[in-house]
């Protein structure tokens, strides 16, 4: 989001900050959390709260009537695809849902990503893309003439998930600055962890990374954390962090990211959040998970009021409503 790349007819000095942020988002690709600063995050969060209030009061609006969203998912998805579809429909828009596997599309005939997005832009006003290869969203945006929203690209980033994660932390605990945040599980391949960590670097937080050795956070991201002088520590044991954590962000060990399945078998059950573990935690804290889970949080924990992962899911729809409205210029 570089101001110098935007329409020079805007007089940014005379625009209220809220309108300025909206103007910056209008027509823009959403590819990385690096596009967002604290002002734009605050703007999106305000809009998400308004969307939540509107949904609770009347269910939906015609704000994006006549607009079309193409959901192009090269990987399986439940929450991300469903929440984008629900967000667009609650805003009065329509959806082209290519979410049941591109094996049923022209991709199975060898069509390139570039040609697929250039085809979909003939029908849609924006494209949401999930792809197994890091950098695919940027490639699609380079070819598309409509905004592309990155819904996860391999082990790269998942910006809308990070936005809803940060929003959930803010809504659950009333603040972000000053919090101690522990991330647990697959930190190497977990794109949700990568994106959330980058967003958290803008705040006064302490970070704890809990993982097996082979799933440690990539050094490229760890070095960014260190360069920001953010207090950080790595450990292999949840017990080292649970007593002081304000946020316990748990992730699934992703079988699909392993080329050597024997390594996956060695670490798949490395961490399990149980009621016994939760008994060691603060009375006021939250447990989060981008989902799906495969055993790393026991079902008995669901009854704990600190378990926020299903509220986190709902927040995803409000954040994506806010983003779609802003990107399509109707915020």
The residues carrying an active-site annotation are 79-80, 109, 130, 158
Cα–Cα separations (whole angstroms), residue 275 to 25, 50, 270, 280: 42, 35, 16, 9
Strands (E), the chain: 68-73, 94-98, 126-131, 148-153, 180-184, 206-210, 232-235, 247-250, 286-288
Joined tokens for residue 311: 């509220």
Q: Do you find a cis peptide bond into 292, omega within 30 degrees of 0? A: yes
Contact 143, 129 (CB under 8 A): no
- The Cα–Cα gap between 159 and 139 comes to 16
Residue among 292, 258, 257 at smallest CA distance from 81:
292
Strand partners, 127: 70, 148
Count CB neighbours of 1 within 10 A.
16
In the 8-state DSSP scheme, what is residue 126?
A: E
Which residue is listed with tokens 């803008």? 202
């Amino acid at each position: 989001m570089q101001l110098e790349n935007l329409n020079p007819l805007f007089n940014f000095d005379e625009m209220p900050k809220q309108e300025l942020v909206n103007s910056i988002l209008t027509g823009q690709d959403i590819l990385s959390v690096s596009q967002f600063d604290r002002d734009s995050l605050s703007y999106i969060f305000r809009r998400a709260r308004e969307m939540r209030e509107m949904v609770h009061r009347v269910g939906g609006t015609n704000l994006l009537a006549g607009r079309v969203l193409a959901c192009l998912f090269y990987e399986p998805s439940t929450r991300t695809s469903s929440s984008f579809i629900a967000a667009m429909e609650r805003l009065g828009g329509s959806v082209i849902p290519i979410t049941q596997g591109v094996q049923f599309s022209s991709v199975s005939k060898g069509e390139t990503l570039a040609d697929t997005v250039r085809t979909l832009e003939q029908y849609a006003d924006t494209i949401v893309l999930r792809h197994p290869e890091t950098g695919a969203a940027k490639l699609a945006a380079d070819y598309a003439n409509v905004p592309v929203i990155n819904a996860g690209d391999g082990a790269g980033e998942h910006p809308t998930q990070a936005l809803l994660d940060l929003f959930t932390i803010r809504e659950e605990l009333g603040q972000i600055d000053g919090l101690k945040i522990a991330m647990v599980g697959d930190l190497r391949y977990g794109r949700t962890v990568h994106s959330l960590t980058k967003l958290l670097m803008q705040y006064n937080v302490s970070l704890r990374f809990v993982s097996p050795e082979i799933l440690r956070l990539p050094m490229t991201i760890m070095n960014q954390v260190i360069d920001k002088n953010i207090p950080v520590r790595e450990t292999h044991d949840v017990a080292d962090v649970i007593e002081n954590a304000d946020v316990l962000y748990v992730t699934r060990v992703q079988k699909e990211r392993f080329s050597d399945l024997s390594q996956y078998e060695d670490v798949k059950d490395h961490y399990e959040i149980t009621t016994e573990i939760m008994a060691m935690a603060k009375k006021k804290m939250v447990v989060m998970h981008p989902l799906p889970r495969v055993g790393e949080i026991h079902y008995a924990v669901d009854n704990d009021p600190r378990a926020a992962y299903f509220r986190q899911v709902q927040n995803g729809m409000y954040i994506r409503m806010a983003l779609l409205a802003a990107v399509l210029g109707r915020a």
